[in-house]
Structure 1
Amino acid sequence: MSVTSITDKNKYLLWVKSGGRCQYRGCNKSLTQDILTKRNFNQAYIAHIVADVPRGPRGDTTRSPLLADDINNLMLLCDTHHRLIDKADVAGHPEPLLLEMKKEHEKRIETVTAIDQDRQSHILTYKANVGVFTPELSYQTVSQYLQPDYFPAMADTIDLSLSNSVQRDRDAAFWSTEVANLEAQFNKKLLQNFAKGEIKHLSIFAFAPIPLLVKLGTLVNDIYKGQVYQKVRTPDTWKLDDDKTEVKYTVVEPANNSKIVALNISLSGGITDDRITSVLGDECDIYTIKIDTPFNDYLKSKRHLEDFSVIIRQLFNKIKTEYGATTPLHIFPAMPIATAVELGRVWMPKADMPLFLYDQNTANGGFTKAIEILNS
């Protein structure tokens, strides 16, 4: 047990640096409020990294008295982790490890509190069943990815998902059910708040079949400020980096002699034209946007997404000029999550062509039309 009387100055400084939360790695528990009763009281323990007495945990004959009231040697901890490092597992918590935990925590608190008030963002989540996989999105999972650009406007997400759905994307009723729910949830949870100015910025995390992601993008649109996040497999993250390395998007145009027009988006995988003509017939013009080597994890930087946004906007304009604003554009997509949402965001409901979105499902024999998005 500590025998040192820590100065008020260092007590207050430690509380500020820790943000009033446990500094043990992975804990971050608030030390001012009981989680059950919501009553406010001090639950914190001030622990010494190097004990203030030589025989204490990590103590040292010379250094213990020198560091006894040194802010760099103090950690704010909850009861559980105070007991863990000083009694239950002293050997497993050497000085370098605790110093590393303290540094990480205080750097994170400093980063978050340095963000300007106008950098707050509401977290929007949407998930739907993809094949047999039901994704998990939670505030705890995604909120970390906002920093250092933004901080959460509230300690929860605005979730537009249909809860406990048993339908899968191979089921005929899946698409109409999901679209109806998505529109209803958007109108209920976002539309009025946007109109009132209560939501300034959205951080968008979504995991769903591509047609639904495009639909989500059309609802959010580019009128509202927002950032779309991408699930990256390697490294495992939701955050696109700031790398300026270019990905070359190539657009291949048809001869323009048919009344039916399709868009082949081959980014996360390649789609051959015969898979499209088997659905629409041979009398269709197919535009293609692709990269040199399509694969699932190509989208890693913000520039890759920004460049795609420019390319798809230009392509919408070109196809509309060639075929007219009332001709449906049949879209066959193999693309990352963020690009699908971004495609929907740049589509203009009053000016662009209707979008007929197709979904690839082996259980249904290939591509089938999933959603129609009509212009207004």
Structure 2
Amino acid sequence: MSVPLDAMYDQQLRAALEAWQHSSTSRVVLATETGGWRFAFFRFDATTSDPQEAITGDFGVLSRDLVLQWAADKQLVAKLEYAAMDDVPHVSVNTELFAALLLASVPAKATKKAVQAFLKQRDALLEDMKRPNLPGEVINWVFARSAGICEFEGCPVELFRDNLSNYGYYGYLAHIVAAKPKGPRGDDHLSAELAQSPSNIMLCCDIHHRLIDKVDPDSFSRERLQGMVATRVNWRTNQAATLSYPIVHALAFIGDIAGRTTTYSQHDGRQALLAAHLTPVSERVAEYLLRDAQGGNDVNDPGYWANFLRVFRAQILHIHTAIRGDGAFGAQAQELAVFPLGNMPAMLLGGWLVGEARRVELFSFRRNPGTWVRPDDSEPAVKFEWTKPPDVKVGSHVLITLEITSEITDAALTAEMLNMSRIRIFSTTYGVDVVAPKEAMERFRNTCQEAWAYAVDVLHASEISICTIAPAAAIFALGMKLQSRLHPRIHMFQMAPKTLPFHAFTLDRHAISVPPHAPGSVLQLDAC
């Protein structure tokens, strides 16, 4: 039968052995490695001699005391047997064949003297105090390299202070290649050569020091431990680099899309900022704005937008005031970072409120990998273009269609819109992630700037209607171009499925309104 060798910490090892010790149906044999440090306890069926379990691990104070008493106790029914073997199995290896060889060697009753001799031999190979003393320079180098934190993968334990905040060296300096050839990961040539090399020593907490040196050394190869150290060096280097990153105040414009809840991960936002060489102003990465997360809201109902204006009245005024500088976002932050993901009219409104008074880093959610982290700019470049209307009507009502995710055909527009001078802003390749790369977003924003300047400065549009089928970040970017004090009246339309667009709200120089302009449907931003 398959009996893999299991590794345990000292307390677990003692508990297992105690259970075996009092079992009248078990035969227990301790196998130790001749001249080495490996050992394994085997439990056999007392009647059939079939192997049942095999355990090894940290032969510490608790399990030592138990085993030494067991060897000396003549009253126990389950006698402890002992055999010294040339080669004891590694952890997780199937021990069925070894178990048969162990019984064939005819184990003898364990004696306290034999167990003590093995423990002394094991200590000589594993104990830190038996290793060559490390120079202070090496100790300081390792602590500095690790930033005083355990270098085992995933471990955050600080080793420069105890739980009472007393400062000092509280870690263990574990050799990757053992200081002695017969120790864990030892080597006849490298052990002496690397015994005092900082590159061969990793800082560990007590648990992980025992794990890699005493509990389960065989599972942690030289290459694996070196990889852990390299990962921590890379982490420390990256953390140091963030000290030079600009501090930004992050805003998350998040809302339900088509009645489905949209979420924002603060962790993902932090990853995106760090990848863009930016530092968030606080631990809570982003401040939520215009967050419609009630679930089930029908944005395709014209009445929805009137309710939206009422619900977010105070927050819209807060954004407007903060952007103007009376209550600026983040006293330390000169820059804004924006994470937009929501319905089209709300995204245009958010961009219009933020504008371009300050530098804004705009992130686009990448739907396919599900991340805000920007792709590198080596991806194939997508071009953005805009078209001039064939029939130029100066001073007329202009229609701007933003077509990034897909094309907006004439069939998707109202008869009134088809009579307007139309400016199309589109990408040469349609898609949900085309504005995600930083350079692509900059090209897109420049295209929006050109199209908007043409509509306002050349066509002198009296009013502008906007229809969009685009990623939220693209719509937000377009909204940023609609300067609040310089533009004609802007009408934002909701593109509803299987029906023509309907009017969501209107942006004036000093007010936001929703049809039918009943009392309470107008939000005044400031004095005219």
Match of 1:297 in 2: 433
Shift in CA distance, 129/321, structure 1 to aligned 2, threshold 3 Å: same
In the alignment, which of 285, 308, 316 is matched to residue 183 of structure 1?
A: 316
SS in 2 for 1:350: coil
Higher RCO (Cα < 8 Å, 6 or more apart):
1
The alpha-carbon deviation at position 302 of structure 1 amounts to 1.8
Shift in CA distance, 147/250, structure 1 to aligned 2, threshold 3 Å: closer
The alpha-carbon deviation at position 136 of structure 1 amounts to 3.4
* Contact 2:259 2:295 (C-alpha < 8 Å) held by counterparts: no
Match of 1:356 in 2: 491
1:114 aligns with 2:241: yes
The alpha-carbon deviation at position 272 of structure 1 amounts to 1.0
The aligned runs of 1:187-198 (5 Å cut-off) are 194=328, 197-198=331-332
Shift in CA distance, 73/244, structure 1 to aligned 2, threshold 3 Å: same
1:253 aligns with 2:388: yes
Q: Which moved more, 1:314-323 or 1:127-136?
A: 127-136
1:73 aligns with 2:207: no
SS in 2 for 1:256: coil
The alpha-carbon deviation at position 317 of structure 1 amounts to 1.2
The alpha-carbon deviation at position 96 of structure 1 amounts to 2.3
Counterpart Cα distance in 1 of 2:215 and 2:353: 53
Shift in CA distance, 246/72, structure 1 to aligned 2, threshold 3 Å: same
Match of 1:265 in 2: 402
Match of 1:370 in 2: 504
In the alignment, which of 275, 284, 288 is matched to residue 424 of structure 2?
A: 288
CA deviation vs aligned residue, 1:154-213 (integer Å, no higher than 9, x gap): 322232243853353536156335643642563698755538852222232232223322
Counterpart Cα distance in 1 of 2:293 and 2:248: 27
Match of 2:228 in 1: 101
SS in 2 for 1:369: strand
CA deviation vs aligned residue, 1:122-170 (integer Å, no higher than 9, x gap): 3333321123543333332221232462233332223224385335353
Match of 1:314 in 2: 450
SS in 1 for 2:285: strand
Identical positions, percent = 22
* Contact 1:122 1:152 (C-alpha < 8 Å) held by counterparts: yes
Normalized against structure 2, the TM-score is what? 0.60
Equivalent residue letter for 2:345: P
Equivalent residue letter for 2:408: I
The alpha-carbon deviation at position 233 of structure 1 amounts to 4.2
SS in 2 for 1:263: strand
* Contact 2:185 2:221 (C-alpha < 8 Å) held by counterparts: yes
Match of 1:9 in 2: 137
* Contact 1:130 1:169 (C-alpha < 8 Å) held by counterparts: no
Root mean square deviation of aligned Cα: 3.7
Shift in CA distance, 226/159, structure 1 to aligned 2, threshold 3 Å: same
SS in 1 for 2:364: coil
Q: Which moved more, 1:8-17 or 1:339-348?
A: 8-17
Q: Which moved more, 1:233-242 or 1:328-337?
A: 233-242
Counterpart Cα distance in 2 of 1:336 and 1:318: 23
* Contact 1:160 1:186 (C-alpha < 8 Å) held by counterparts: no
SS in 2 for 1:320: helix
* Contact 2:385 2:426 (C-alpha < 8 Å) held by counterparts: yes
The alpha-carbon deviation at position 349 of structure 1 amounts to 1.0
SS in 1 for 2:284: strand
Shift in CA distance, 261/148, structure 1 to aligned 2, threshold 3 Å: closer
1:144 aligns with 2:271: yes
The alpha-carbon deviation at position 239 of structure 1 amounts to 1.4
Counterpart Cα distance in 1 of 2:481 and 2:431: 23
1:331 aligns with 2:466: yes
The aligned runs of 1:205-224 (5 Å cut-off) are 205-224=339-358
In the alignment, which of 413, 417, 431 is matched to residue 276 of structure 1?
A: 413
Match of 2:4 in 1: none
Shift in CA distance, 272/179, structure 1 to aligned 2, threshold 3 Å: farther
The alpha-carbon deviation at position 300 of structure 1 amounts to 4.3
* Contact 2:322 2:328 (C-alpha < 8 Å) held by counterparts: no
CA deviation vs aligned residue, 1:282-315 (integer Å, no higher than 9, x gap): 4222211112231222234322111111111111
Shift in CA distance, 29/303, structure 1 to aligned 2, threshold 3 Å: farther
The alpha-carbon deviation at position 25 of structure 1 amounts to 4.3
Shift in CA distance, 197/294, structure 1 to aligned 2, threshold 3 Å: same
SS in 2 for 1:269: coil
* Contact 2:281 2:330 (C-alpha < 8 Å) held by counterparts: no
Equivalent residue letter for 1:168: N
The alpha-carbon deviation at position 110 of structure 1 amounts to 1.4
Shift in CA distance, 138/88, structure 1 to aligned 2, threshold 3 Å: farther
Shift in CA distance, 221/71, structure 1 to aligned 2, threshold 3 Å: farther
Counterpart Cα distance in 1 of 2:200 and 2:221: 13
1:166 aligns with 2:295: yes
Q: Which blocks of at least 5 consecutive residues in structure 2 are unaligned? A: 1-126, 511-528
Q: Which moved more, 1:306-315 or 1:295-304?
A: 295-304
Counterpart Cα distance in 2 of 1:132 and 1:40: 54
Normalized against structure 1, the TM-score is what? 0.81
Shift in CA distance, 211/164, structure 1 to aligned 2, threshold 3 Å: closer
The alpha-carbon deviation at position 368 of structure 1 amounts to 3.1
Shift in CA distance, 198/98, structure 1 to aligned 2, threshold 3 Å: same
Counterpart Cα distance in 1 of 2:360 and 2:206: 40
Match of 1:124 in 2: 251
Q: Which of the two has higher C-alpha Rg?
A: 2
* Contact 2:364 2:433 (C-alpha < 8 Å) held by counterparts: no
* Matched residue count: 371
Shift in CA distance, 371/225, structure 1 to aligned 2, threshold 3 Å: same
Counterpart Cα distance in 1 of 2:258 and 2:341: 12
Counterpart Cα distance in 1 of 2:157 and 2:338: 26
